[in-house]
Structure 1
Amino acid sequence: MTTAFDDHERSRWAGRAAAYQRSFAALCAQPAASLLDAAGVVAGTRVLDAGTGTGTVAALACARGATVIAVDAEPSMVAAARRRVPAAEEVRQAALPHLPFPDDHVDAAVANFVLNHVGDPAAALAELRRVVRAPGRIAVTIWPYPQPPLQRLWGQVFDAAGVERPAVMPRLDADKDFPRTAEGVSGLLTGVGLADVRCETLSWVHRTDPEDWWSGPVNGIGALGLLMENQPPDAVARIRAQYDRLTADFRADGGLLALPTAALLASAAVR
């Protein structure tokens, strides 16, 4: 059973694989190798990439010689991942927490920035645990809170432009949310019966073209896109002016933005 938050997320990503690939895909790709390492993915590992997006993690797993099964809730993402990862055993549409696989189907599972897009993160993890056979591992990434500079930037842009937030933004039900901290995500993994829980912070500087970074919200990606698409043209112009002003401090050689960011990488064993 999906939640209202799940339904909202489906609507935000519908048909937006190309927009995601241009804007945020490179950011989300940064932890891919570390994610696979944490899940113990090597040649011969049968791995599930849940929420594959345009197939970044799945492609890297295939390059390691793993047997890859990839799923995503959004049809345009599935189509993009199929094109990108023809060596995968299977790429199909499916969404956590309901996977169309039997128990003990894979040796490992990964979910790269997926828990922040599901209405019941604990149920999603429990479903990953169900399909991973012992002694396998599960690894996930999430964005942390307090937010690093990259994630704070858009809020600062909207505030400087005088954009009013909707009175009610889609959120997880309170009983399904968790602190976006190392302790919070570790507790989530422990709570669904996983063992040997580990969590680390990955920090890096994301380099991107300013127009590509602007294109994400302009093309409706995520909560930022929801805010952007509800603005009249004059407000969008103000947002753009503040975007140019506030990103000036992050301009690097060649005109790229250099945005400091971080993610939490958590992993655990199925026993």
Structure 2
Amino acid sequence: MAETVFDESERRAWAGQADAYAASFAKLCAYPVPMLLDVACVREGVRVLDVGTGTGTAAVLACGRGAEVTAVDAEPGMVARAALAAPEADVRLAALPHLPFADDEFDATVGNFVLNHVGQPRQALTELRRVTRPGGRIAVTVWGVPAAAGQALLGGAVQAAGVTRPAHLPALAPEDDFLRTEQGLAALLGEAGLTDVVCGTLTWDHQTTPEEWWSGPAAGVATIGQIVTSQPPAVIVKIKEHFDLLCGEFAGPEGVLVLPHAALIAHGQA
């Protein structure tokens, strides 16, 4: 299983972005983690693997539950931040679809939004199943489609400015993509050989500020950031103007943005 063009694009997009991610989108992505650990049955003594740990949120909480935690990420800056955040964990540089672990090494494996960033989601899940012992739990989250209103704010600003996705940012190959619905994600886990699959939707209001929310794309974080920062300066100004206008729909008290989000959470047995 060689890396795809999508994987290579993701590596470039996230290179050096750990600090900017921590200051913008990390708090949003942290929300599902307690539920993710619950459905993976992460508790004291459980050998758990956190794949795509990012800044280490799941690793920290799993350590707090008394689990034996190993965490990996494909970006060295994320590994450094996660290792500082979770000193009790074994944090390593590694990327799907090839993990440096033996078969059946873990009791539970979690991937918080990691499937959004791999070029071959089925093969990635098959690899998670390989390193999880028979009967162990695997739990993942992805962003659903269509996006919730708050999640669509940044994309709406880009669209209103007349900007389309640049050609240098590849989408998943059609044969590797899957429906970002409860049924679609559940089917993906089943195709990877998991049993007793359950998938549901988490909804929540993410509270942030316009400045914090804009800082991610302005720094080039994630696909939306790659789209924004690849534009000429005048177009970026135009996107920001539309962003400021659209923020009015989500204005809360004292300058807070209240952004409705939704994510799919699925788990199954290896």
1:87 has 2:88 as partner? yes
Give the Cα–Cα distance (whole angstroms) in 1 for the partners of residues 183 and 28 of structure 2. Answer: 24
Equivalent runs, 1:72-83 vs 2, <5 Å:
72-83=73-84
List runs of 5+ in structure 1 lacking aligned partners.
none
CA distance in 1 between partners of 2:61 and 2:23 (Å): 19
**TM-score, length-scaled by structure 1:** 0.97
Partner of 1:49: 50
Percent identity over the alignment is 55
Give the TM-score, by structure 2 length.
Answer: 0.97
Supply the distance in 2 between the matched residues of 1:112 and 1:174 (Cα, whole angstroms): 23
Q: Is the 8 A contact 2:9 2:169 kept in 1?
A: no
C-alpha separation in 1, matches of 2:55 and 2:248: 30
Q: How does 1:168-187 map to 2 (within 5 A)?
A: 169-187=169-187
CA–CA separation in structure 2 for the residues paired with 1:159 and 1:228? 11
Q: Alpha-carbon deviation of 1:165?
A: 3.4
1:67 alignment counterpart: 68
How many residue pairs get aligned? The number is: 269
Q: Deviation at 1:254?
A: 2.1
What's the RMSD between the two structures over aligned residues? 1.0
Tell me by how many angstroms 1:167 deviates: 4.6
Structure 2 counterpart of 1:237, which letter? V
Residues 28-73 of structure 1 deviation map (CA, whole Å, 9 limit, x = unaligned): 0000000000101011111000000000011000011111000000
Distance in 2 between the 1:200 and 1:164 partners?
A: 31
Matches within 5 A, 1:91-170: 91-167=91-167, 169-170=169-170
One-letter code of the match for 2:262? A
Which 10-residue stretch deviates more, 147-156 or 106-115?
147-156
What SS class does the counterpart of residue 148 from structure 1 fall into? coil
Q: Distance in 1 between matches of 2:123 and 2:156?
A: 33
Runs of 4+ in 1 over 3 A off after TM superposition: none
C-alpha distance in 1 between matches for 2:78 and 2:96: 15
Structure 1 CA distance for aligned equivalents of residues 165 and 203 of structure 2: 29
CA contact (8 A) 2:143 2:180 kept: yes
Tell me the residue number matched to 1:207.
207
Q: Distance in 1 between matches of 2:123 and 2:178?
A: 13
**Number of the residue aligned with 1:9:** 10
User: Any idea what the Cα deviations from partners look like across 1:124-182, whole Å, max 9, x if unmatched?
Assistant: 00000001112210000000011111222122111222224325641111111100011
Per-residue CA deviation, residues 88-120 of structure 1 (Å, 9 max, x unaligned), is 1x1000001100000110100000001010000
